[in-house]
Structure 1
Amino acid sequence: MGAPDGRDGAQAAEEPPAERPEERLERAVRAAEQALIEYEIALETFRVEVENFSRLHHQKLGPMYARLDELDAQIAEATAARTGDPEDRRKAEEARARVMPMPGVEELFHGWMDGDGLYPEAAAMLTEQSVRPPQRVRPGEEARKLYRELARKAHPDLAQEEGERQRREEFITRVNAAYARGDEAMLRELSEEWAAGPVPVEQRLTRSEELYARLEWLAQRKELLTVLAKELEESAIGGMLRLAPDDPDTLLDEIAEQLLAQVSEREAELARLRA
């Protein structure tokens, strides 16, 4: 047997020190934070699309739905006049009631105002100014890029202190509002503002108990967002958007064509009943 050459001892000396449990937890927390932020970005993007689609749906297709309801009422009334059947008269009364339902409080303000006040369209109608055309369902690609960058940099979940969290929450509120409007210029201004602002304090290694609590909070937050995402996806508007996820702006035109065809069919049926 050869004499020991000392390599085993040298290799042992070169091995990196064992990783502390806090370091593994720190990596897990940071990974969970980034995953949650990406999930919130996707959720907010979808929420804006659902909100804008709902608004455009009401503006562009509302008159067609109203026309269909009116034609259904007239067809039911014409049918009842022909047959004199009590059941047909009952159906005619129900159809007429659907044309002008008694509005609830939310319906009275639907399409007129939100948390920021009157919509521009409503203000224009009240002041007899021209109404601007409806906006796109989905903000432009540049606006989406700017929004994602800002959300990743300034997200409140990255704050370690309450004061910093409040500053980030106020800033992200402005970012979300600009993104919902598709305001690229404002998003650029906000990006410059954030770059010129105070540099966030670098995260320090925290105690194991604090890191576990942080992971638990992130998990609860993800669970809440999952519920919100499910509600959006299962809503009527969310279901419609899933029919055209890559090009939701053209979906309204397709629906409008279908509604116009239905209007033509109803008008032809009504003409036959009145002939």
Structure 2
Amino acid sequence: MADDTTTEAEEEAAATARLEVAVRAAEAALIEFEIAVETFRIEVENFSRLHEQRLGPYYSRLEELDALIAEAVAARTGDPEDERRAREARAAVAPMPGIADLFHGWLDSDGFSPEAYAMLTQQPVQQPPRVRPSDEARKLYRELVRKCHPDLAVDQNERDRRDVFVSRVNQAYARGDEDALRVLADEWERGPRGEEPAWERQDELYARLEWLAERKDLLADAAAALEDSAVGSMLRMAGDDPDGMLEEIAEGLRQRVAEREAELVLLRGDGAE
């Protein structure tokens, strides 16, 4: 009888050990997936901000030139239809203010802008120098997140601590700040160590696996939304050189601006704007 009891206990322990291995593998896979989603999210955000910063002035200039050209045509012809087009073109230059304009760039449709958040948390405001951080920054980021990821903790207080820390890591990575990432890595190594979860029952492990599966589904939805967005689609087309794509678009816009300016000069006849 004792042998049977021992055998059952050993089998249960072995089954629990196998489940724990499965949980650890699922955690590692989930973290890798989340790192991939987060790096892409940061690239989407950086691309969007740099697109506005670098290309916004060209688009604004083109709108102004379109209005000036339409007004020059209307002044020359006096045609009511040309005058209507001129009014529409001028109205497009100064649209009704949106949320971001009303709050002076502090707030947009997604909440506080990165610049506003940085100011509120007394962090330096820095534009990302490039869409995709350097290979070294990517390496440092991945290694650090693998160690400090909140999904590695079960205790809520430890998860909260890790959430705050990972937020700082994400901000440093978004700026491509290799030095800041190294400082954070050193801070993590010198900081407190949360306790590793001790799984005692199979039902705890099954619950953990279910939670990990739900978390993966949420991440998959977030990844799909990013990829289907306008900026996400542009990034996929850009391949390995999103900054090159921005420069290529900028060159095309510069040419369009030059063409519109030349057209305006011809319409006015005197070279004045």
Q: TM-score range by the shorter chain?
A: 0.7 to 0.9
Shift, 1:118, TM fit: 7.7
User: Residue 50 of structure 2 aligns with which residue?
Assistant: 56
Q: Give the C-alpha shift of residue 18 in structure 1.
A: 8.5
Report the counterpart of residue 99 of structure 1 in structure 2: 93
Q: Which residue of 1 aligns with 2:178?
A: 184
Alignment of 1:39-188 (within 5 A): 39-107=33-101, 108-109=104-105, 113-117=115-119, 135-188=129-182
* Cα deviation digits, residues 107-150 of structure 1 (max 9, x gap): 43068833222899x98xxxxxxxx9861222222211111001
Residue 203 of structure 2 aligns with an amino acid whose one-letter code is E
Query: Contact conserved, 1:178 with 1:186, CA < 8 A, in 2?
Result: yes
1:54-103 Cα distance to aligned partner (Å, 9 max, x none): 22221211111111101111222223334433333222211111111121
Output the amino acid matched with 2:115.
M
Which structure would you say has the larger Rg?
Answer: 1
| TM-score of the two chains, using structure 2 as the length reference | 0.81
1:216–1:133: structure 2 CA closer, same or farther, 3 Å change rule?
closer
Q: Secondary structure at the match of 2:238?
A: coil
Range 185-194 or range 146-155, more displaced: 185-194
- Percent of aligned pairs with the same residue? 61
Matched, 1:254 2:248: yes
Shift of 1:24: 3.4
Q: 1:114 corresponds to which letter in structure 2?
A: A
Residues 119 and 18 of structure 1: CA distance in aligned 2, closer, same or farther (over 3 Å): closer
Structure 1: tracts of 5 or more residues without a match: 1-15, 124-131
Q: CA 1:210–1:150 in structure 2 vs 1: closer, same or farther (change >3 Å)?
A: same
1:233 Cα deviation after fit: 1.9
State whether structure 2 residue 203 is matched by structure 1 residue 201.
Answer: no
Alpha-carbon shift at residue 163 of structure 1 (Å): 2.3
Give the paired residue count: 251
**Normalising by the residue count of structure 1, what TM-score does the alignment of the two structures yield?**
0.80
Quote the RMSD (CA, aligned, Å). 2.8
Bigger shift: 34-43 or 76-85? Answer: 76-85
1:233-252 per-residue CA deviation (whole Å, 9 max, x = no partner) reads 22222222222221112222
